[in-house]
Amino acid sequence: MAIYFYKVCEPYGCFSNFSPHPIDIQGTYWSTVEHYYQAQKFVGSANEAIIPIIHAAATPEQAAALGRDRTLQVRRDWETVKTQIMHVAVRQKFLTYPDIQSILIATGDELLVENSPTDYYWGCGCDRTGQNYLGKILMSVRQEIRELALVSDQ
């Protein structure tokens, strides 16, 4: 049976990028995966000045609103790099927090789906035809962690 997640306050809310799990990426501490992801849109762009503002955003919702500001130009390679950037951040989150790592591993081989009614790239969209890249990343991180556990058992 597939596991659908979306809002932080609902079951499996720890799978949302908005969950309150700060991550350290290359020595910088980000309040949530969402803060990090939204800031990366502007690395090397003319709008790099927004990065510390996103970093300091009080909530992931505010970070997302800043990152989605259509008046700002995102980096040229964003479409090419965004999935890998998200993968790195999600992996770091689940490697950092053993409690949510256990929740992820306990999902076994279930399909994980971000049940976003609006996002057809990271989620499944309102008609469930979306590409679900966040779910795919979570399943990939789940497998990576299982393999790491096998190596450390040897």
Ligand X SMILES: Nc1nc(O)c(N)c(N[C@@H]2O[C@H](COP(=O)(O)O)[C@@H](O)[C@H]2O)n1
- Which spans of this chain sit near ligand X (rule: CB under 6 A)? 16-18, 34, 37, 64, 67-68, 114, 116, 118-119, 122-123, 134
Smallest gap, in angstroms, from Cβ of residue 24 to ligand X? 18
Closer Cβ to ligand X, 60 or 101, answer by number: 60
- The span from the CA of 101 to the CA of 94, in Å, is 5
Closer Cβ to ligand X, 86 or 152, answer by number: 86
Closer Cβ to ligand X, 101 or 130, answer by number: 130
Smallest gap, in angstroms, from Cβ of residue 102 to ligand X? 21
Smallest gap, in angstroms, from Cβ of residue 76 to ligand X? 16
- The span from the CA of 17 to the CA of 45, in Å, is 23
Coil/strand/helix, residue 3? strand
Closer Cβ to ligand X, 85 or 95, answer by number: 85
Smallest gap, in angstroms, from Cβ of residue 60 to ligand X? 8
10 Å CB burial of residue 136 (0-12, 13-18, 19+) is middle
**Helices 133-153/98-105 angle, 10° precision:** 100
- The span from the CA of 15 to the CA of 4, in Å, is 10
